[in-house]
Amino acid sequence: MPLKILVLNGSTRAKSTNGLFIEAIIRLAGDRAQFTVFSSVAELPHFNPDVDIDPAPPEVARFRKQLREADGLLICTPEYAMGVPGSLKNALDWTVSTADLRLKPIMLVTASLSGEKAQRSLLETLTVLEGKLTPETTVLVQFARTKVDAEANVTDAPALADLKRALDAFL
**Model pLDDT, residue 33:** 97
Fill in the DSSP letter of residue 138.
E
**Model pLDDT, residue 40:** 85
**Model pLDDT, residue 1:** 78
Q: What is the pLDDT along the chain (171 residues), one digit of tens a residue?
A: 789 999 999 999 988 999 999 999 999 999 999 999 998 899 999 999 998 988 999 999 999 999 999 999 999 999 999 999 999 999 999 999 998 999 999 999 999 999 999 999 999 999 999 999 999 999 999 999 999 999 999 999 999 999 999 999 999
**Model pLDDT, residue 2:** 87
- What's the CATH code of the domain at 48? 3.40.50.360
Residue 10, domain extent: 3-170
Which residues, 6+ apart, have CB-to-CB distance to 137 below 8 Å?
105, 106, 107, 108, 166, 169, 170
Number of domains forming the structure of the chain: 1
Residues 70, 39, 160, CA angle at the centre, nearest 5°?
A: 70
**Model pLDDT, residue 8:** 97
pTM over 0.85: yes
Give the integer Cα–Cα distance in Å for 106 and 81: 24
67, amino acid identity = L
3-state secondary structure of 59: helix
